[in-house]
Chains A and B, each alone.
Chain A
Amino acid sequence: MGLLLFYLFIPLLAIFAFLLTGNSKSLRTISFSAAGIQLILTIIIFILSAGIKTGGERGNLLLNGEVFWSGVLNISFAAGIDSISWTMLMLVSLVTFSVLFTDDKTRHNLKEFYILLFLVIFGANGLFISAGVFSMVVFTGISATSLYILIYSQNRDQHNIWLMVQGLTLAAGFALLVTGLTGLYMNSAPDGNQPTFNLQEVSTYLIPLKAQTVFFPMVFTGFVIVAGLFPFNLFLPRILEPGTFPSTVLYTGLLFNMGAYGALKASIFLMPEAASEMSLIFRVMAGLTVAYYITYFFLNKKRGSAGACIPGALSGMILFAMLLMNRKGIMVSVALMISLGLYASLIPQVKTFTGFRKERSQKLIFILFLILVIGVPLAAILGAPAILDMNENDGISTIVERILMKEVI
């Protein structure tokens, strides 16, 4: 676990260093160093976990451990990784580099920008290494709030009413998450046992169906609303259009994935019966989200609308695939999460590479889109064990087994 804690220390140290300096060159040096160290750490962790697996260890989470927050309430900060979280951590590194490579000249309040950026990264890292629902919510909160403030501060039109609406949806998402969390905690163990937020501990017990039916929609929609995934983010293009590249990359490449990851691990994984029963309703909503973004994209040819519409449609597809509630569905959804992260990270680089010339960049973006949206999920289905599912007890397999658990019971 000690190694995983570096994912929290690195951004925090970077923030501390930002506070001590004011010049833009130092800010960039610190941020690139922090991002580089984080990338190296992710590679080291991959090698270590592969080594552990080769050694024959089978378990849900590797490098796991916990630090108790409160012993009497059995609330702890539990950490551990599986192949999905490792992949997401890799995406965080890529997204960070992508943001850092974009031009600083378009930004104002540079110091605040870097502090907020590393707070977003801190929250994202925290979520992906968390093995407890409570800490997952707290880290999502840190990341989402910092990102919303970053978008607000970097937005050219600060009187944009949609920014306020977006802020309110964040609060609405938290309201649902908080209520859902209380219910999840209270029903997380059989009568007489100490309730817990620990994912592994909760997953050894099937929460009563009545409680699942009430709290699954709250936790699921809570995560997706906080991340602005669906169905309340229909105004997303209006927020991101006047924004800057970093806002778009972080929002679509990171926050979307955080919401989807949280929804998968904290709601579908822990409450599979209710998820299965309600999947149709949510699939319809996800499908409508995809349709909305495609329509918006074709009706609005404004500059920047594609930056929000394509990831928006992808986010709907991620949820749709996830809610199919079978192995292939979950696999495709994780693959699409990777596609989304890569797409969001690469677009600014493609635009910079083509010198912002519309025709050239459009062609490249189209090819990239095809490779990522069709190629990665296809590869995931065809070569899943090699790409995503590194052994039979890891990542997706654990979630799928849990989803199918109700049939066994």
Chain B
Amino acid sequence: MNINDLGIIRHEVLLAAVILLTVILSIFSSWNRLARSLPLLLFIIVVAAGVAPGQEGFLFNGNFISSPLVKAMKNILNAAILIIMLQVAGNKRESEKDDNMIRVCLAMFVSLLGLYIMLSSGSLPVFYAGLEISALPFLIIFLISSRERSLRRMTIIRISLYTVASILVISGILLIFKASGSVLFSELIKKNMNTPDNLAGLIIMFTGMTIKAGVTPFLIPDNGFSRRMQISLLSYLTVVLMGGMFFILTILLYSVFPSLHIFWQKSILIISILMITGGNILLFFQKSIRGFLVSSSFLQAGYILAGLIGANRFGMESMIYAVICYVFSALAVTGVISIFYDRTGKERISDFKGIYGVNPRFGLLLGIGLLSLAGIPPLAGFFGRFFLFLAAAEQNFYFLVLVASLNMVFSLYCYSRFAGTLFRGTGDKHEEVITSTPSSIAWMIICLAGILLSGAAGFIFDYLRTISFGVL
């Protein structure tokens, strides 16, 4: 590796530098207003460097890969993080003022670094290292929360699950290595993976990965842990981590296990239907905001998964497009909720009754975000979902399309019930009028533009076609 190769690894190097600087800042500087905005400013540099044209290629004997597809995926995640950081910067609660920003930023940066490494991994051990790094901040949060007696039992379960997940991933990787004699993606793709050992390895590895990235943080949607977690971190989990995991899943399935596509297509069919239906049921019973967000992400994950079933180029591009649409819609919702929680402590859906009457801008954005998540045209959510269905239909998975479409009716009920609450009545007379800060105006404009214009931006789809690939 020479100095010119730094361009290939620029996302990771810059983010690691930002993490280091943020830690130093937190130790040595008095945490004044300027210092609080520094992580945001530093991250803007990472975002800008990521978008800038640069080198792509292989490093470390093929263990690290950078391609236009991977770069685009990293940039989408960066954009989502930037929006969350703007949301955090807009929070004004006195109790959280001092160390909220740094805590949230560090957790997100470290986890994002893990996602970067997973996306660029060219071998299974590097992928595993990325997985551990991305889950590390949440392990730390579990350990901190274990100090509270009421949360101790749940924390022990979570840490045990986390450990079991690590063991499962390692076992899966070892099994694949034993069966195929390699851990490098470039070699695995040339081998016949359609053997019982490889199949077992794949199942065990993905089970571990799912537990680590999905089940552990969201074990029970509305428990003590998620109540303690800040909404900005919940936004990260439900939007960035989920989106990142979909990208990684696509890369692994399409470029490492294409020969097993019949098996994973069938698995995706079942899992997707279960997630969509289960997500709807969970969403229906939610009364708290956090539970609603987690259930909603579970439901949306089911829909996004439907795109992968196509196993072709169209499937990949529609999945990436759906993630882009989801990012804007979900972050609009979590952003408004987070600002209300920050200023007024609202935690239940019923607390949001009539907020449009007092805070029309926030109420309107939340309503539009919810309708977009429900998939109402012409909002981003409709376009994202429609192309996922089209990708599934292209491979004749009409049954999945029909089940998913019918579930849309139920999910619309759940989302519009919440949206209706915002506009019902005139709200509490003592309701606080939320003042906008420059950062809150910025993220609101970004999210609103994303929701309204993603549908019209067909060129995104055309660009994604040039960088995507398929199995079939």
Contact = CB atoms under 8 A, between A and B. Distances in A.
Tell whether A pairs with B: yes
A174 B402 contact: no
Which of A137, A168, A181, A182 has most chain B Cβ within 10 Å? A182
A167 B393 contact: no
Nearest to A67: B458
B453 to A, nearest CB: 12
A292 interface: no
B420 A179 contact: no
Given A179-B389, A182-B393, A183-B398, A138 B378 contact: yes
A186 B378 contact: no
Contacts of A175: 405-406, 408-409
B371 interface: yes
Nearest to B314: A73
Contacts of B393: 182-183, 185-186
Interface in A234-248: none
A182 B395 CA distance: 11
Contact of B462 (A70, A139, A142, A185): A70
Contacts of B412: 167-168, 170-171, 174
Interface residues on B, range: 20 to 34
Contacts of A181: 386
Contacts of A168: 409, 412-413
B394 interface: yes
A313 to B, nearest CB: 27
B163 to A, nearest CB: 42
Contacts of A183: 393, 398
B382 A152 contact: no
Given A171-B412, A174-B408, A142 B377 contact: yes
A84 B388 CA distance: 34
A298 interface: no
B401 interface: yes
A349 to B, nearest CB: 30
A326 interface: no
A55 interface: no
Given A71-B462, A75-B458, A179 B409 contact: no
A73 B461 contact: yes
A179 B462 contact: no
Given A68-B458, A71-B462, A141-B377, A171 B408 contact: yes
Interface string A143-176: 0010000001100001000001001101110111
Interface in B431-472: 455-456, 458-459, 461-462, 465
Contacts of A142: 377-378
B312 to A, nearest CB: 13
Contacts of A186: 390, 393-394
Nearest to B390: A182
A214 B401 CA distance: 13
A174 B398 CA distance: 16
Given A145-B376, A183-B393, A171 B458 contact: no
A73 B424 CA distance: 41
A183 B386 CA distance: 12
B167 to A, nearest CB: 42
B384 interface: no
B389 A172 contact: no
Interface in A174-230: 174-176, 178-179, 181-183, 185-186, 214
A299 interface: no
A176 B398 CA distance: 12
A69 interface: yes
A178 B386 contact: yes
Interface string A59-72: 00000000011111
B100 interface: no
A179 B402 contact: yes
Contact of A153 (B382, B423, B455, B459): B423
A68 B416 CA distance: 32
B172 interface: no
A388 B374 CA distance: 40
Contact of B376 (A71, A174, A179, A185): A174
B458 A167 contact: no
Interface string B358-375: 000000000000010011
A171 B413 contact: yes
B376 A69 contact: no
B336 to A, nearest CB: 18
Interface majority SS on B: helix, strand, loop or mixed?
A: helix
A176 B424 contact: no
B377 A145 contact: yes
B405 A141 contact: no
Nearest to A173: B409
Nearest to A177: B405
A178 B458 contact: no
B371 A145 contact: yes
Given A158-B424, A174-B375, A182-B389, A167 B416 contact: yes
A141 B401 CA distance: 19
A69 B453 CA distance: 12
Contacts of B392: 182
B378 A171 contact: no
Contacts of A137: 377
Contacts of A152: 420, 423
A214 B402 CA distance: 12
A69 B458 contact: yes
B56 to A, nearest CB: 22
Contacts of B375: 174
A141 B382 contact: yes
A68 B402 CA distance: 28
Given A167-B412, A168-B412, A178 B389 contact: yes
A139 B377 CA distance: 8
Contacts of A69: 456, 458, 461
B369 to A, nearest CB: 14
A171 B413 CA distance: 8
A139 B423 CA distance: 24
B319 to A, nearest CB: 15
Contacts of B402: 179
Contacts of A141: 376-378, 382
Given A70-B458, A141-B382, A186-B393, A178 B398 contact: no
Interface string B417-428: 000100110000
Contact of B465 (A72, A164, A214): A72
A22 to B, nearest CB: 12
Interface string B177-207: 0000000000000000000000000000000
B378 A72 contact: no
Contacts of A73: 390, 458, 461
Between A70, A71, A145, A176, the greatest number of chain B beta carbons within 10 A of the residue's beta carbon is seen for A70
Contacts of A167: 412-413, 416
Nearest to A140: B377
A179 B400 CA distance: 10
A171 B371 contact: no
Contacts of A164: 413, 416, 420
A183 B378 CA distance: 20
21 contacts: A68-B458, A70-B461, A72-B461, A75-B458, A138-B377, A141-B376, A141-B378, A164-B420, A168-B413, A171-B412, A172-B409, A174-B376, A174-B412, A175-B406, A175-B408, A178-B386, A178-B401, A178-B408, A182-B393, A185-B390, A186-B390
Ordered nearest first, which 9 A-B pairs have the shortest CB separation? A141-B377, A69-B458, A171-B412, A182-B393, A175-B405, A70-B458, A171-B409, A72-B465, A70-B461
Given A139-B378, A175-B405, A178-B389, 11 more contacts: A69-B461, A72-B465, A141-B377, A141-B378, A145-B371, A171-B408, A178-B408, A179-B402, A181-B386, A182-B398, A182-B401
